Structure 1
Amino acid sequence: MTTSEENKSTYPGKNLEQIFSMLSLKIILVISILVGFASSQDLSITYNGFRSTNMSLDGMAEVTTNGLLKLINATTQEIGHAFFPNPIKFKNSANSSAFSFSTTFVFAIVSEYPTLSGHGIAFVIAPTKGLPGALPSHYLGLFNKSNTGDDTNHVVAVELDTVRSEEFNDINDNHVGIDINGLTSKLAKPAGYYPNNNGLFQNLTLNSGKTMQVWVDYSGITKQINVILAPINAGKPNKPLLSLPYDLSPILNQTMYIGFSSSTGSVPTYHYVLGWSFKMNGVAQGLDLSQLPKLPRVGPKKISKVLTIGLPVILIVSLSIVISGAVYQVRLSKMFEEVLEDWEIDYGPHRFKYKDLYIATKGFRERELLGRGGFGRSKNTLSWSQRFRVVRGVAYGLFYLHEGWEQVVVHRDVKASNVLLDSELNARLGDFGLARLYDHGTDAQTTHVVGTLGYLAPEHTRTGKATTSTDVYAFGAFLLEVVCGRRPIELRAPTEDQILVDWVFSCWNKGKIVEAVDPNLGPEYVKEEVELVMKLGLSCSHSEPTARPSMRQVVLYLDGALALPELSSLGISATGLSFANREGFSDLALSYPSSMEKAFSHASTAAESILSGGR
């Protein structure tokens, strides 16, 4: 055979082998694509507990030893995320319709306080696992101030919210909502369900500490989202709590991540997920409730009645004398016990010991008393000149408290009952048991919200932060209480007049502010001074901290060294007093720097006279 003939018989075979090889590779590639597509289309996960799962966790999220997914512990102002680690295909292409999906999970929200909670939990579908830049508190670990409501977020969430955020138009502090790209829900309703036996709506409390189950179903055909909530053992109700017609195709990318997000604010709260099931293009598999991990016990373990009934009566009788003596000794020691706060440990105590006061007053005898709180026995017996003197004395005391320390002391409990008067009616601001020191520019947040109802600034109850501005708010309530002779909250008054600041504002708004004056004053008072104090009380009670005057400005107004701005721009809202525009006291100090300094120099001289017992 010649070379040319050999070549003719060899090359056709090699070409055939190459063709078969290429076909095999193509077949394998097509099969792998189809398998991947099928697995994405039919994705199904079921976690009856999370002990052996490989969840992607960040923030405070963790899996406990018994398999609980704990998104948040009792730490305040934190977030927790838990996501299925792999991306999931939600549609065939960027412009195609989103697939149907179904999910169910069991959760529990356990608060350290019976009536308060630290925000909530959200089931979330997002382009990324970490949700970078998300904030805690009312942002639920989903968004932040700048990106909530942004159409480029491509985030779908079902929120179980336990705090009302007026910023996002929340309907109440116990609701379920469907969120698209932001925290203003497309649809929200109070938490509850429709039992299958009678169909009557039953309320549920999300932060009750009880386990509940949620079902979320989306139909890619009808373009509708249904959300159902029910107690753990009630089964799935037929009627959904939320039913929202909405096409998720423009919202969902081709691949997305699924999981949970959670956050806390000022109230220590635990957020748990006990089990989770998800199904693409189908119905999520039901959870085996008997296999779910148990929640940790809340509170002390109950004592058996058998033990309490079986205690020998003779032992109680024989030990009664010993116990009585021990109780007496404990009470005696408690009477003189001094509890120092953190700042007093660092800087030393700045108050008289109870024991020293007890001895100095010979057991607090009537004739040995140094002064009385709350304007003595009856503040209603004081004349206007005496009340005005008390107001100025407290103002100067609080001013020196704020500006006389390198750390700005915050009193945190300014109220009428903490004002002491001596025999010459010189006012002293007392009871520094709640006062704290903090450095300029630092976070003044406390572990718990402390103070007295009616004197607490709205931002204090919302954020837990005590500042000089919250002291000013309490001082405003005190001013109105002095002039009107009423408490900040008067439950016996008509509903519309129960809140003192609202009542005074309504009188001012009608041009009849003198109607709010304490009738016990009679006609003997200086009208200009009374109106000044009442308007100043409204200004100090402003819901916006930045719009309130400082105590430096307050003393200048009371001394007549600086004119009080007109309140014509003052308005009323659901959260209290608010200005129609942002102009106010912060701009005032910048507008008149030279006159402010001269006036303050004059007021400082007057302060020494007032606080030393003069005029």
Structure 2
Amino acid sequence: MFLKFAVLFLLLGRSVASQQDDLGFTYNGFGGVDLSLDGLAQITNNGLLMLVNNTMQQKGHAFYPHPLQFMNSSTGTVFSFSTTFVFAMYSEFTTVGGPAMAFVIAPSTDFSSALPSIYLGLFNKTNLGNSSNHLIAIEMDCVQNLDFNDIDGNHVGIDINDLKSVESAPASYFSDQENRYVNLTLFSGHALQLWVEYSGEQRQLNVTLAPIEVPKPKIPLLSLNIDLSPIILDPMFVGFSSTTAVIKAPHYVLGWSFKMNGQAKALSLSQLPKLPRTGPKTQSKIFNIGFPVIGVSLVLISIFLIQFIVARKKKFADVHEDWEFEYGPQRFKYKDLYIATRGFNEKELLGIGGFGKVYRGVLPNSNEEVAVKRVSHDSRQGVREFIAEIVSIGKLQHRNIVTLLGYCRRKGELLLVYDFMPNGSLDKFLFDDESTNQTKLNWNQRFQIIKGVASALLYLHEEWEQVVVHRDVKSSNVMLDGDLNGRLGDFGLARLYDHGGNPKTTNVVGTFGYIAPELARTGKAKPSVDVFAFGVFLLEVACGRRPVDQSFQASSEEECIVLVEWVISSLNKGAILETVDPKLEMNYEVEEMELVLKLGLLCSQSIPTARPCMRQVVRYLGGETPLPELPSLSRSVFVNSEGTGNVSIWFPYHHGRSAMTPQSSVADSLLSGGR
């Protein structure tokens, strides 16, 4: 009997080892790759993994999304593993770089409590050196910090649960041809390749560095005898961490290969994406013109230059008050935006909305593609408060939120600068039938967009340092990036007119059809008003119709249809799927579609407290929590705007009547007895 158990135990151990032998991945670029990203980390349009950009005092993480088993349960030792990746680190200066980036092995991908800058996005002041961290990092550090015993400002180190490296060396590689170590500059912007290899049998960790055009050197840069079994806390995650400080220093990963119990597959260097072109900032042509040294010519050219400079400054004059200097990088120069948009050329016009025109632009210094929104604002009342809010909103970092990069003020207008979204807004995909070249969104893409917007609203309501109410959630404010991921945009514009007191608007900001009844009554915006608008948005995406649709007749007696009422009517008839967008041609998951339609009704109730919060919504969409059953619904007349009498759903306008007059709608709370 003992022999049988011994044989069985041995077979199980071999099975685990066999599974680990098959565990590996190779990414020659990251286009379409599923990674767990947070902070500034994103995948660029050409497939680069950009860990951090030029935003100050932020962090970025990118991890393989699935946990890995590093421990051999039969022997209690760590499996051998190998990884290699190509990376590039930039700096706006030639003599000093920014904070480090690191390859990381960690028990979790949650580094929300970690600090940026010198803490590498992995630690904070309280957990440095704690054995409970169970964290291994290979750092490529461009800053010398004496508190962490750094050897210089350009080194590679092995970190175990701490930022004091247990082994480090100046950035260099061993040249097999020259038989010596050759120095490298980590922050040069040139692509470098790094190998990390651990032998479970020899308990040895090797780190090797080389330029991308040089084959792997025979002698590693770092070699450390260490047993990793006390540090590994299965399962573990592998990935990258990076941060920013006060220097513009973006970090990129071009390709990545990993293998458990084997040699990582070599990267195909010819298939790696191209790095962005960078270089020292160029001075104005004016200052590159050589002045003649002969008397009269010098005087004449000097006069001409003075006149030219004065005229140019007048043309590109900004409104810049003393209190704005504290906002630093968030303040763009009008000249740069003028050049980026080719003088706000109509050929660069992306769209026209209620708040102004939006132009595509390419920033002259960085070649970064942006969207520039021109917003008229003649009143000086509240401008300082609004700018403070814009800068605060610019700190929002979420993969499903369009990043507000900054602003510019000039005369009677504000210019807001956003990340460029190449696929425009979602409403064009849902409603624009005239564009024959428009990509059609299938159901899976729509469902992913819905979940992305829900995740963004949860971040705004509960997960950021302040509670942010968007107040204008709708399909035209959901932008699509190059991979058709939904990203919520247009923050703060409604607030502008709160501060400025534009006489053409009321205090109730938002878009008719999406405005919650309590917002229309009181003008007070709470997270529940976003939930109401999100409910209407869900029906909009699923049905392919606007909240109040005049494109078809619901009956011979009506000139248009109110979307929520139409869906409720179909639900009561047991035919809710008849409301699905016909452009989907019946190609959708029935369970997901019913979930979205019913959740849309659940969110768009008249009673704020009856609506789910966004965390509940995310759980419903993720299948973590079943949606409550909806009772049968009946139509009733709205009694008064204060909510007395029968409970009803509010619609801001109905065909042919006053825009702010409540009309016939649906009675009874959708959650009565269901929650």
Q: State TM-score, norm by structure 1.
A: 0.46
Which one has a larger percent helix, Structure 1 or Structure 2?
1
State the structure with bigger RCO (CA 8 A, min sep 6), 1 or 2.
1
